[in-house]
């Protein structure tokens, strides 16, 4: 076997490494490719319940660092590697999709006989993302300092010791650029494989979804789907919506979870968590993706697959789309007035055949496994 992706977690059609590998596996299976593969392992329901109970209980008394130590996460990795040792042994390339997986593999195994590849799927460095998440959960900086420092050590080890790093495109390296300079990472070890995503599933029809939400047929619908945090720019989406709060011609719809509250106004619907994001995207006239920091947002590709008009920030991986003919309208982070200007233009509220055509050109899931195999062969040779 040339290449083996390794992931300690479930595969599911969503964002992050879980969804990315779900799509890669779909392409591998479709091509019946035997030279690359994925091994993964999700916690059993019992393990998840125990973890959740201990975290809720211990949070009242100890810091996150002690919680994670008490749960002995290392034991999960030891068992995982042992259960898959034969498959791992016979692969030339081992490809990891979190810095933690990379770190723990190197801790418990002999790395001399493998080429090690790392892909990070975070819009920010993992230790920064973890810090923001814990702070949003109510922990103080002093409580989480040790666990963040530990995560930073893991990140440094993984990025420095990987033989190669794979990113979707050059632009997606932007959130990591300063850190890589600090670590003196050789940029020649970075390879690129463009992300592929199948067309998003629509579970509820266009008319049924609008009826379900009680939306009039002539209303202009602007949709946001994703985590409700600062990095994803949900506060920007809310700020834009507030500017149209007295305008009945516009309806703003959001879906996702996070720590930022949605505005209370008649033309704003917050779905919360949903298992059918495709049905919401399908009724959108415009999809607003206001990331402050961008790796390579799957939401953009999913919206393209439905031929939707997109307004997004000119950051990171989003820059790849510029000047390629997409109906994507860019703005600088924080430029709420530019978004308002776009939404006041009637021409933006039309589906884009061009976006569908270019989606099929660049993001065809059938080519995903083959593109990976080509890069793996470059690394081996």
**Can you read off the two tokens belonging to residue 247?**
């305008």
Domain with CATH 3.40.50.2000 in the chain: 3-196+365-380, 206-362
- Partnered with residue 191 across adjacent β-strands are 166
CATH number of 3-196+365-380: 3.40.50.2000
Cα dihedral across residues 249, 253, 259, 261: positive or negative: positive
- 3-state SS track over the chain: CCEEEEECCCCCCCCHHHHHHHHHHHHHHHHCCCCEEEEECCCCHHHHHHHHHHHHHHCCCCCHHHHHHHHCHHHHHHHHHHHCHHHHHCCCEEEECCHHHHHHHHHHCCCCCCEEEECCCCCCCHHHHHHHHHHHCCCCHHHHHHHHHHHHHHHHHHHHHCCEEEECCHHHHHHHHHHHHHHCCCHHHEEECCCCCCCCCCCCCHHHHHHHHCCCCCCEEEEEECCECCCCCHHHHHHHHHHCCCCCCEEEEEECCECCCCCCCCCEEECCCCCCHHHHHHHCCEEEECCCCCCCCHHHHHHHHCCCEEEEECCHHHHHHCCCCCCEEEECCCCHHHHHHHHCCHHHCCCCHHHHHHHHHHCCHHHHHHHHHHHHHHHHC
pLDDT for res 59? 58
Determine the Cα–Cα distance for residues 362 and 241; give it in Å rounded to an integer: 32
Provide the whole-model pTM. Answer: 0.85
pLDDT for res 108? 83
pLDDT for res 99? 94
pLDDT for res 329? 96
Contact 119, 65 (CB under 8 A): no
- Partnered with residue 215 across adjacent β-strands are none
Q: What is the CB neighbour count within 10 angstroms for residue 110?
A: 8
Backbone torsions φ then ψ of 185, nearest 5 degrees: -70, 130
Domain 206-362: state its class: alpha beta
Q: What are the average pLDDT values for consecutive 10-residue runs of the chain, which has 381 residues?
A: 90 87 93 90 60 58 55 73 87 94 88 92 90 85 87 94 95 93 93 92 94 92 94 95 94 93 94 92 96 89 94 94 93 92 93 91 91 93 81
């Amino acid at each position: 076997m040339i290449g083996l992706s390794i992931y300690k977690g479930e595969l599911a059609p969503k964002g992050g490494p879980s969804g990315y590998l779900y799509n890669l596996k779909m392409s591998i299976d479709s091509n019946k490719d035997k030279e690359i593969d994925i091994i993964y392992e999700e916690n059993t329901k019992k393990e998840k319940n125990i973890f959740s109970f201990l975290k809720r209980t211990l949070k009242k008394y100890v810091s996150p660092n002690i919680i994670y130590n008490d749960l002995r996460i290392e034991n999960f990795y030891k068992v995982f590697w042992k259960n898959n040792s034969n498959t791992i042994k016979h692969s030339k390339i081992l490809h990891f999709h979190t810095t933690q997986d990379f770190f723990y593999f190197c801790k418990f195994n002999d790395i001399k006989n493998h080429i090690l590849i790392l892909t990070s799927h975070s819009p920010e460095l993992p230790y920064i993302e973890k810090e923001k998440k814990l702070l949003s959960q109510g922990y103080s900086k002093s409580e989480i300092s040790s666990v963040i420092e530990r995560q930073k050590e893991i990140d440094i080890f993984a990025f420095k010791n990987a033989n190669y790093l794979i990113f979707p495109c050059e632009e997606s390296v932007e959130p990591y650029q300063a850190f890589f300079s600090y670590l003196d990472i050789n940029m020649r070890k970075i390879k690129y494989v463009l992300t592929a995503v199948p067309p998003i599933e629509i579970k509820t029809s266009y008319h049924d979804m609008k009826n379900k939400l009680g939306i009039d047929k002539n209303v202009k619908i602007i949709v946001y789907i994703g985590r409700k945090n600062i990095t994803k720019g949900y506060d920007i989406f809310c700020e834009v919506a507030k500017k149209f709060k007295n305008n009945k011609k516009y309806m703003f719809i959001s879906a996702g979870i996070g720590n930022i509250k949605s505005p209370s106004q008649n033309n704003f619907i917050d779905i919360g968590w949903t298992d059918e994001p495709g049905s919401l995207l399908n009724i959108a006239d415009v999809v607003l993706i206001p990331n402050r920091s961008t790796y390579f947002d799957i939401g953009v590709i999913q919206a393209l697959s439905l031929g939707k008009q997109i307004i997004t920030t000119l950051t990171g991986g989003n820059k790849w789309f510029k000047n390629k003919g997409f109906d994507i309208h860019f703005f600088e982070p924080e430029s709420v007035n530019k978004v308002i200007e776009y939404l006041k233009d009637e021409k933006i509220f039309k589906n884009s055949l061009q976006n569908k055509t270019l989606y099929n050109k660049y993001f065809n899931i059938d080519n995903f496994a083959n593109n990976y195999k080509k890069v793996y062969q470059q690394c081996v040779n």
